[in-house]
Amino acid sequence: PARQLPPPTAKQVQLLDRLCSDVFSDWAPPAHEYQVRENMLRTIEDFIRHQAFPSARLTLFGSSCNGFGFRNSDLDICLTFDDCSDPQSLDQPDIILKLAETLKRLRFIYNVIPISTAKVPIVKFTDRRSRLEADISLYNTLAQHNTLLLHTYAKLDSRARILGYMVKLMAKICDICDASRGSLSSYAYTLLLIYYLQRCKPAVLPVLQELDADSRRPRLVDGADLWIGFLRFYGEHFDFERNVVCIRRMEVLSKFEKLWNGSFIAIEDPFLLSHNLGGGVRRKMASFIRRTFLLWRLHHMRPIPNSLPHGYRDFR
């Protein structure tokens, strides 16, 4: 078992450090890409204001602006109306269908698909020029709060940001990054990482939601050791049977306290406290996800660990 492994050698740590920074530079979007996304948003906003909804406003959230975006990450877009005082009263499915009809008339986008009956109704589409996929949802204001929270954590420590790319890449390569197919969302993996970085010794991140005055932490540990520590934390130490991953407070939160005993992986949303992001994960998937953490740790202990288990450059 992994727990009997010796700690990584200095050489392994050095190579793994290089791997972490390569993953970051390979996948983080270049600075101008933010502008590309912003321009795309403004063009679409203009069009729908003229064609269908004069007070429409589009705002980006998710990884396009939380500091953990990949070059090919989708655009998560929130639609609101400047003149709407009661968003609860909106007929969301109806708006989604009308929005889809409008978007179909825009030449530079294709694959416009309304999903109006989902719990969160959305329109999906693809941008012809950049090939980027996008989703528009309505009044997803909580997601805007958690986007800002993640963005703040990403800015606090560059190691947190780099490791965020590592965990998302691992989850995407291993096909355990799709909540609609019984695993966990990218967002949930980022929360797992933040939770670990708040608790490793010395801590890398503070608990922003219960912050004391001095939030600066010493930088004593390098990124590779943290990555190994993170994989060990969830592969071996974290008590998934009893505890909840909860980044809003330092005190341990039990599944019992949340009445989430039936859940195999419990991850509390930091704003919507009743939401368990692991609620849809079944026993087999939960153990597969945990084994993925263990296996990656083992993989990194090979003599030359500066590679990933699969051809990661090719993944989409």
Interacting residue ranges for ligand CTP, rule: CB under 6 A: 61-63, 66, 69-70, 73-74, 76, 142-143, 146-147, 185-187, 277
**Which of ligand CTP, Mg ion, none sits in contact with 12, Cβ below 5 to 8 A by type?**
none
C-alpha of 76 from chain center: 12
> Applying CB under 5 A, does 63 fall inside the site for Mg ion?
yes
Residue nearest to Mg ion (CB): 62
Nearer to ligand CTP, 69 or 206 (CB): 69
Among 53, 114, 44, residue whose Cα is nearest residue 80? 53
Contact segment (CB under 5 A) with Mg ion among 28-36, 56-64, 125-133, 165-173 equals 56-64
Nearer to Mg ion, 62 or 223 (CB): 62
**Closest CB 131 distance from ligand CTP, rounded Å:** 15
Nearer to Mg ion, 165 or 238 (CB): 165
**Closest CB 107 distance from Mg ion, rounded Å:** 24
**Closest CB 184 distance from ligand CTP, rounded Å:** 9
**Closest CB 28 distance from ligand CTP, rounded Å:** 11
**Which of Mg ion, ligand CTP, none sits in contact with 185, Cβ below 5 to 8 A by type?**
ligand CTP
* DSSP assignments along the chain, one per residue: -GGGSPPPPHHHHHHHHHHHHHHHHHHSPPHHHHHHHHHHHHHHHHHHHHHT-TTEEEEEEGGGTSS---TTPPEEEEEEETT-S-GGGS-HHHHHHHHHHHHTT-TTEEEEEEETTSSS-EEEEEETTT--EEEEEE--HHHHHHHHHHHHHHHH-HHHHHHHHHHHHHHHHTT---GGGTS--HHHHHHHHHHHHHHSSS-SS--GGG--S-------S-HHHHHHHHHHIIIIIS-TTTEEB-SS-SS-EEHHHHT-TT-SS-BB-SSSTT-BTTTT--HHHHHHHHHHHHHHHHHHTSSS--S-SS-GGG--
d(CA 52, CA 50): 6
User: Considering only residues 66-105, where is the footprint of Mg ion by CB under 5 A?
Assistant: 74, 76
Residue nearest to ligand CTP (CB): 62
Nearer to ligand CTP, 12 or 146 (CB): 146
Nearer to ligand CTP, 8 or 69 (CB): 69
**Closest CB 2 distance from ligand CTP, rounded Å:** 27
**Closest CB 145 distance from ligand CTP, rounded Å:** 8
> Applying CB under 5 A, does 62 fall inside the site for Mg ion?
yes
CA distances from 141 to 52, 93, 276 (A): 22, 18, 18
Nearer to Mg ion, 63 or 292 (CB): 63
Size of the site for Mg ion (CB under 5 A): 4
**Closest CB 47 distance from Mg ion, rounded Å:** 22
Nearer to ligand CTP, 161 or 232 (CB): 161
What does the binding site for Mg ion look like in residue numbers (CB under 5 A)?
A: 62-63, 74, 76
